[in-house]
Amino acid sequence: MSNENENPMNDDAVSSPPTAKEISRRDAVQLLASIPVAAFLKWPTAEQSRIRELVDDALRSAAEGTAFAPKFFTPAEYRTVRILSDMIIPKDERSGSATDAGVPEFMDFTMTDRPNSQKWMRDGLAWLDAQSNSRFSKPFADASQSQREAILNDIAWPARAPAAMADGVGFFNRFRDLTSTGFWSSEIGVKDLKYMGNVFNPNWDGCPPAALRKLGVNYSKFDRTKLRLTPPQT
């Protein structure tokens, strides 16, 4: 799958945010909400694991020539989802985009599995189209890159967003979190993070001596009941 937009968007944690064109994807990645991603990677639920398997199957089918058919999104909504997710995580020199990682498929499966999430998603996508139609006389997916950026720059930074944009701000925050969860739970996303967990290291010789000295502990006695190093005997 190819991405339809190359512009990263960033989180609302910065007090004086740059515009979309001034921030790199690497900087944007560091600002994205990480709690749901970390939770997904460390303690995946049976539901999350099943969704991930469904997404991986969909990507394999697409690679073999069978296009994914969303069950929740309409064709127009799905086009917008693909564009918007790639604006949040575009392809760069290190890894693929959100669509390359199967984020739109991940969202479609999530919406099907979590009906209580459907309203905010559908209302938010309609809000984007209403804004774009009002400003540019065309739906969001048909707007130009700069026109899409103009809308997102009004909702990506809650601290500076006009009160009239509250609905858009709420939608974009939730969409961005779901995009990051879908991306960094994927094979592409894990490689992008250079995640080193869950890998057995047969050559680990323990904590380096310098670090042990700094902590004031050693391996001379190991408390197996408390599973911790004991301070050196004085």
Whole-number mean pLDDT of the chain? 77
- Sign of dihedral through CA atoms 17, 168, 141, 179? positive
Shared domain for 24 and 76, answered yes or no, is yes
Q: Could you give the CA distance from residue 152 to residue 171 in angstroms, rounded to a whole number?
A: 11
7 domain-assigned: no
Q: Please report whether residue 139 resides in a domain.
A: yes
Q: Are residues 179 and 217 in the same domain?
A: no
Determine the pLDDT at residue 9: 46
Is residue 41 domain-resident? yes
Cβ pair 8, 20 in contact under 8 A: yes
Residues 91 and 160 in one domain: yes
**Could you give phi then psi for residue 4, rounded to 5 degrees?**
-105, 0
| Distance, CA of 32 to CA of 151 (rounded, Å) | 19
pLDDT in tens, 100-159: 999 999 999 889 888 999 999 999 999 999 999 999 999 999 999 999 999 999 999 899
Note whether 178 and 73 are same-domain residues.
yes
Residue 217's pLDDT band (cuts 50, 70, 90):
confident
Structural domain contains residue 80: yes
93's enclosing H/E stretch is none
Between 148 and 225, the more confident residue is 148
Same-domain check for residues 101 and 217? no
15 in any annotated domain: no
Examine the domain organization and report whether 183 and 215 are in the same domain.
no
pLDDT over 90 (residue 6): no
Give the tens place of pLDDT for each residue, 73-90. Answer: 999 999 999 999 999 999
If one counts the domains in the chain, the total is: 2
Residue 154 belongs to a domain: yes
Residue 72 has what pLDDT? Answer: 95
Q: What gap in Å lies between CA 154 and CA 106, rounded to an integer?
A: 26
What are the pLDDT digits (tens) for 161-190? 999 999 999 999 999 999 988 888 888 877
Structure confidence by residue, pLDDT tens digits, 18-43: 444 444 444 444 444 443 444 444 44
Which position has the higher pLDDT, 167 or 44? 167
Q: According to the model, what pLDDT value does residue 233 have?
A: 56
Structural domain including 216 reads 205-234
Same domain, 91 and 69: yes
Domain contains 148: yes
Q: Model-level pTM greater than 0.85?
A: no
Largest alpha-carbon pair distance within the chain?
A: 79
Number of neighbouring beta carbons within 10 Å of residue 91: 19
Judgement on whether residues 46 and 115 belong to the same structural domain of the protein: yes
| Distance between CA atoms of residues 234 and 231, nearest Å | 9
- The pLDDT of residue 206 is 74
Residues 98 and 209 in one domain: no
pLDDT of residue 187: 80
> Is 58 or 22 the better-scoring residue by pLDDT?
58
pLDDT of 140: 98
Report the range of poorest mean pLDDT among 12-21, 37-46, 187-196.
12-21
Q: Which of 67-71, 91-95, 197-201 has the lowest mean pLDDT?
A: 197-201
Q: Which residue has the higher pLDDT, 6 or 201?
A: 201
